[in-house]
Amino acid sequence: MRGLNLSILSLGLFILYGALFVGGIITNFLMLYICILLPFFAFVFAAKEEKSNLKTAITVISGFVLIAVLLLLYLIIFQTG
């Protein structure tokens, strides 16, 4: 159960950092990558801790990647134009 709580907290942190970046508070790309990677590694840790929940963790990690790609597309389309 602890791994599931950790993954929910990580998802919240990811959404928070993404919102801060889009809002212009976090402007450094290196800081954005650090903020994205920390929750990602927390998800991997949660997946290893709860092997029975591995399928759910893989689904959430793929959702993570999708959100990161959409965030980068938003930045490329709206910030450079």
Domain interval for residue 11: 2-80
**Cα–Cα distance measured from residue 72 to residue 68, given in angstroms and rounded to the nearest whole number:** 6
Residue with tokens 């999708």: 66
Number of neighbours of residue 33 by Cβ within 10 angstroms: 11
Instruction: Quick: pLDDT tens for 45-69.
Output: 666 666 656 666 667 677 777 777 7
**Number of folded domains that form the chain:** 1
**Amino acid in position 4:** L
pLDDT 10s digits, 21-53? 666 665 666 566 666 676 667 667 666 666 656
Q: How far is CA 35 from CA 28, 31, 67, in A?
A: 11, 6, 13
